[in-house]
Amino acid sequence: MRPILMKGHERPLTFLKYNRDGDLLFSCAKDHTPTVWFADNGERLGTYRGHNGAVWTCDVSRDSMRLITGSADQTVKLWNVQKGTQLYTFNFGSPARSVEFAIGDKLAVITTDPFMELTSAIHVKRIAGDSTEQTEESVLVIKGPQGRINRAVWGPLNRTIISAGEDAVIRIWDSETGKLLKESDKESGHKKTITSLTKAADGSHFLSGSLDKSAKLWDTRTLTLIKTYSTERPVNAVAMSPLLDHVVLGGGQDASAVTTTDHRAGKFEAKFYDKILQEEIGGVKGHFGPINALAFNPDGKRYGANKNSLLIYNLLMELDVVVCCVSNEPCRWKVEIYVLSCMFAATEFLFCSGLLIILTICVLQLNSFSSGGEDGYVRLHHFDPDYFNIKI
C-alpha cells in the first residue's frame, strides 16, 4: 500500500473529511487555510482563504455544494465548495472546535471552547438554503459540560446530539430542548480527555478515541459500551471502515516530545483493529509526528477502469459499430462480473449484426483512507487487494 503524499499545508493537520460521494477530500490545519483535494490521485483542487486562526474542523453538505469550517479565530464560515467563496460567517466569543451538518443540511451543530469568562457550549444553527437569508441566531444553545468539548455529532434522525471532551464523559442531549438524556458510565468509560468521535455509516454505533490510550465502541441510542480497543499510545483520531469490520486508531506521543524521539519510537503509525474481535491486525507507518486526523473514503463502490479498455469502448461507440442487432431491435448487453478480491474484470459481450465483440475492462476498486499528522502531510492510502483478504 504505497501512499500518495499530499503537501499543501504549512502547519500540522487537525481534521480530514471526505464528501458523501468519496471523490473529494477536505483537510484542515493550523495554517488557517482549509484545502480540497481529489480523493483518487491527491491533486490539490483549491483552498478556502478567510480564516485568521487555526482551522480545527470542517464538514461538507450532502450535495457537496457547501463547506462549513470552525476556527480558533472565533468564527464558523460557510463556503461555496466549487468557487471557494465565503457565503456567511457566524461570529462567537470563543474558538469554534467542532462542526457538523445535520441530515438534510438544514441545521448545523457547533461547539465553542471555554474562553475568558465564557464556558464551553453547543450551538445549533439553522442553515438557510439561500445564503442571503442566513441569520446569526442560534436555534439552541447548550451549556454545562466542564472543560472543552472536542466533538459533537448528530444522533439518529437529528433527534439527539452526542458530545465528548476534556472531562472524559460522553453525553447525549435532546436536540430540541437541550435536555441531558444520558451520560457514559465513569467505570466503563474513558479516563482521560476524549479527542475524537466518529459514527458508523448507518448511525447505529459510534467510536470514541481518548488520551487514555484506548478507543471505545458505543451504542448510539442506549450509550451502552460495546467494545474497547487498547493501544500503547494516546489516541488522537479514530475511523471506521465502511466496507469491513475494521477500525483505525491514530495518535502517538505528545507533539512537544517529537523532536527528542526517533520516529520509530514515537508510535506514529495508524493501527488497524478487528471491530468484533478487538485484535490488532496491522499498521501503516509513514508520519514523522503524531497522527491528528483519520478518515475512510465513505464510498467503497467507486471504481476506476483500465484506460486502454475505455478508449477502445469509446472508439467503438463513436464509429457506430454497436448500433443494432439483426432483428433491428436495440442491442442486447450481457455483462458478467468476476470478483477477485477488490480487482475484477468486467467482460461485456456485444451482439450486433451477427458480430460478437468481446470487450474486457479491468476495474480497480478505489476504497482508501487518509491520515493527517503533526508533520503537515496528508497521506492518501489506496488499499492493496490483500487488505480485503485479511484473516484472523
What residues does 263 pair with on adjacent strands?
none
Task: Decide if pLDDT at 336 tops 50.
Answer: no
Using DSSP's 3-state secondary structure scheme, residue 157 falls into helix
User: For the residues 23-49, what does the mean pLDDT come to?
Assistant: 96
Q: Let me know: does 142 contact 121? Beta carbons within 8 Å.
A: yes
Category of 207 on φ-ψ map: left (φ > 0), alpha (ψ -120 to 50) or beta: beta
Q: Distance between CA 166 and CA 145 in Å, rounded?
A: 9
User: pTM for this structure?
Assistant: 0.82
Q: Distance between CA 291 and CA 29 in Å, rounded?
A: 12
Q: What is the pLDDT of residue 312?
A: 37
Task: Decide if pLDDT at 141 tops 60.
Answer: yes
User: For the residues 139-145, what does the mean pLDDT come to?
Assistant: 90
Q: How confident is the model at residue 117 (pLDDT cuts 50, 70, 90)?
A: confident
Q: What is the pLDDT of residue 354?
A: 43
As to burial, measured by CB atoms within 10 angstroms (0-12 exposed, 13-18 middle, 19+ buried), residue 333 is exposed
Task: Decide if pLDDT at 31 tops 80.
Answer: yes
Using DSSP's 3-state secondary structure scheme, residue 87 falls into strand
Give the closest residue to 6 by CA, choosing from 388, 281, 295: 295
pLDDT in tens, 153-192: 999 999 999 999 999 999 999 999 999 999 999 899 999 9
Spans of all domains in the chain = 3-301+369-384
User: For the residues 101-116, what does the mean pLDDT come to?
Assistant: 96
Enter the C-alpha cell of residue 349. Answer: 459481450
What residues does 246 pair with on adjacent strands?
274
Q: Distance between CA 231 and CA 253 in Å, rounded?
A: 12
Q: How confident is the model at residue 66 (pLDDT cuts 50, 70, 90)?
A: very high
Task: Decide if pLDDT at 348 tops 50.
Answer: no
User: For the residues 205-214, what does the mean pLDDT come to?
Assistant: 97
Q: What is the pLDDT of residue 252?
A: 83
In the block, cell 466533538 appears at 151
In the block, cell 460495546 appears at 226
User: For the residues 341-351, what does the mean pLDDT come to?
Assistant: 39
User: For the residues 12-31, what does the mean pLDDT come to?
Assistant: 96
Please report, rounded to a whole number, the percentage of residues in the chain having pLDDT higher than 70: 79
Task: Decide if pLDDT at 321 tops 80.
Answer: no
Q: What is the pLDDT of residue 138?
A: 95
Task: Decide if pLDDT at 294 tops 80.
Answer: yes
Handedness of CA 88, 106, 125, 37 (dihedral sign): negative
Task: Decide if pLDDT at 318 tops 50.
Answer: no
User: For the residues 26-39, what does the mean pLDDT come to?
Assistant: 96
Task: Decide if pLDDT at 90 tops 90.
Answer: yes
User: For the residues 29-33, what does the mean pLDDT come to?
Assistant: 96
Q: How confident is the model at residue 144 (pLDDT cuts 50, 70, 90)?
A: confident
* Assigned CATH class of 3-301+369-384: mainly beta
User: For the residues 54-76, what does the mean pLDDT come to?
Assistant: 97
Task: Decide if pLDDT at 316 tops 50.
Answer: no
Q: What is the pLDDT of residue 113?
A: 95
Q: What is the pLDDT of residue 385?
A: 81
